[in-house]
Amino acid sequence: MSQHAMTNRLQGDLPKIGIRPVIDGRRGGIRESLEEPTMNMAKACARFLSENLRHSNGLPVECVIADTTIGGVAEAARTAEKFRKEGVGLTITVTPSWCYPLETIDTDPLQPKAIWGFNGTERPGAVYLASAMGAHNQKGLPAFSIYGKDVQDIGDSTIPADVQAKLLQFAKAGLAVATMRGKSYLAMGTVSMGIAGCIVDETFFQEYLGMRNEYVDMSEFVRRMEREIYDKDEYARALAWTKENCRIGADVNPPELTRTAEQKEQDWETVVKMTLIARDLMIGNPKLADMGFEEEAMGHNAIAAGFQGQRAWTDHFPNGDFMEAILTSSFDWNGIREPYMLATENDNLNAVTMLFGHLLTDSAQIFADVRTYWSPEAVKRVTGQELTGAAAGGVIHLINSGPAALDGTGEQLLNGQPAMKPFWDITEQEAKACLDATLWCPAVDFFRGGGYSTDFTTRGGMPMTMARINLIKGVGPVLQIAEGYSVELPPEVHDTLDQRSNPTWPTTWFVPNLTGEGAFKDVYSVMNHWGSNHCAVSYGHVGAGLITLASMLRIPVCMHNVPDEQVFRPTVWTAFGVNEPTGADYRACAALGPIYR
């Protein structure tokens, strides 16, 4: 495999973080004494973020500091203009002192914003922070408050650990907001098998995410295959790589429905072409222009996409499983690279959830059906064995109907433990291990057109976050979050349970962290409260980041098991009810409305 490819494959510059050093504007010794510590605070903040953040494509995150400290409205305006020219997508205001809030706050309604008020006694940075937050809340410009727990000395340029954590949580979510803005969701086909999540709600994309919607009919795949609108050299290389690296699994079809060796060979050729075409549809391909296809070369600037597949396509053509699994993985025949967010069955709501997870973690995402809750009693009845350990209270069977990112095997390692890592941290050996842990099984009989499905079982012990956006009439989008762990079942138990669903599809056995109440009373309750047949799964416990991102987009969270101390939202949320945080979240989102309305 080639070296890790770090490139911005979408149109538009990458968003930057704007750092606003705000100062007490009174001259005669007050402002003058604060210039150096205020600007040093800004520099320390910028340095910390630049050293600890990357965009999901691996490129470094740039910070832009105001040319001067901001003591009044004129300097605030000059800074806003500089940030506009520099492509700043979110701002962090820093100050160790009192300042004039109405004259110095960031008033851009589209940019996520935070204020770090220095906890010091020499100058009241905390007083400015509280006053500025009051101004933001009164004006309907929600902002995040960052205030360290421990008092520091004026001029101390170190950033305490608790402040660091909040800076990173805010910045990563803010970058996600700015990155999505102006990009596209590409629907390849339309509604699959009557699944409501496939209905593309343009109002949701436009008003909540700031995204465009693009559409192509699945017949575009046929046109490009028949007219050879793809890079033929890359196709030859891709097909050779596939035959060398993709292990064939069992064909479980009855003899009368088993495809011939010639048909299976043709299926490989078709699914590899489909993969190239889907990628070209999403981001374009300059090679197509060299072939005389200038329009097709442009692509749709799609940061996420979905393929309808079932059944209009799969009743006649090979399924999209190989295409979806390879594109959503962090590697292919071109080497190790950023995964694409491509949803099975054009479930655009799951695609958006995958996109959220990817932008927050920089890693691949697992698309899964929330298929079955297996209680300990049911497992004992069916297998004769008892569930033990983390699985003792039952498990949720996450198994997509065909594909999943190969990163989901858990064959990548972090500190010796199974993981799903940002692509720039994945070694060639780990990519090969993911491929070796996967079988490609000839599609089962209800995929009448053939194809190959992804068969693997996720290794246990991985911290994971299962999430899903649903659209609710009268409310709008809502987000569900369940942090937990992957678990491994004894081989004979896994085989028995897997055979009852489909042994040719990818399986993740998931156990959520329980709180003993509400939707997280037990494993069954999590399954019973889930709002759709699909979910997106991220590596790590990233629910706190999802909550922060959701608050920026004004999407309420209807269920989560994130510890209270990790929840970080704009301060105005407390005004909607401290003692009832879920209801307050709904009320705040409703009062503020979508960010792009």
Arithmetic mean of pLDDT, 458-487: 98
Spatial distance between the Cα atoms of 532 and 166, rounded to a whole number of angstroms: 31
- The answer to whether the annotation marks 455 as part of a ligand binding site is no
DSSP label of 149: S
Q: Is the pLDDT of residue 582 over 60?
A: yes
Spatial distance between the Cα atoms of 355 and 353, rounded to a whole number of angstroms: 5
Closest CA to 422 of 2, 12, 1, 5: 5
Does residue 301 belong to any structural domain of this protein?
A: yes
SS3 label, residue 5: strand
SS3 label, residue 442: strand
Residues 152 and 240 in one domain: no
Residues 340 and 196 in one domain: yes
Closest CA to 519 of 554, 548, 484: 484
- The answer to whether the annotation marks 300 as part of a ligand binding site is no
Tell me what pLDDT residue 445 has: 86
- The answer to whether the annotation marks 345 as part of a ligand binding site is yes
Give the CATH number of the domain where residue 375 resides. Answer: 3.20.14.10
Range of the domain at 294: 184-592
SS3 label, residue 30: helix
Does residue 6 belong to any structural domain of this protein?
A: no
pLDDT tens per residue across span 434-457: 999 999 999 998 899 999 999 999
Residues 208 and 291 in one domain: yes
Residues 167 and 189 in one domain: no
DSSP label of 345: T
Q: Is the pLDDT of residue 336 over 80?
A: yes
Q: Is the pLDDT of residue 208 over 70?
A: yes
Q: What percent of the chain has pLDDT over 90?
A: 94
Domain's final residue, options 180, 205, 221: 180
Spatial distance between the Cα atoms of 464 and 424, rounded to a whole number of angstroms: 20
Arithmetic mean of pLDDT, 141-166: 92
Residues 478 and 531 in one domain: yes
Spatial distance between the Cα atoms of 211 and 206, rounded to a whole number of angstroms: 5
Q: What integer best gives the mean pLDDT of the chain?
A: 96
Domain's final residue, options 135, 152, 180: 180
Give the CATH number of the domain where residue 96 resides. Answer: 3.40.50.1070
pLDDT tens per residue across span 217-232: 999 999 999 999 999 9
Residues 151 and 188 in one domain: no
SS3 label, residue 368: strand
Tell me what pLDDT residue 1 has: 46
pLDDT band, very low/low/confident/very high, at 395 (cuts 50, 70, 90): very high
Q: Which residues are catalytic?
A: 345, 369
Total domains, the chain: 2
Give buried/exposed letters for 371-399 (b at 16+ CB in 10 A, else e). Answer: bebbbbeebeeebeeebeebbeebbbbbb
Does residue 4 belong to any structural domain of this protein?
A: no
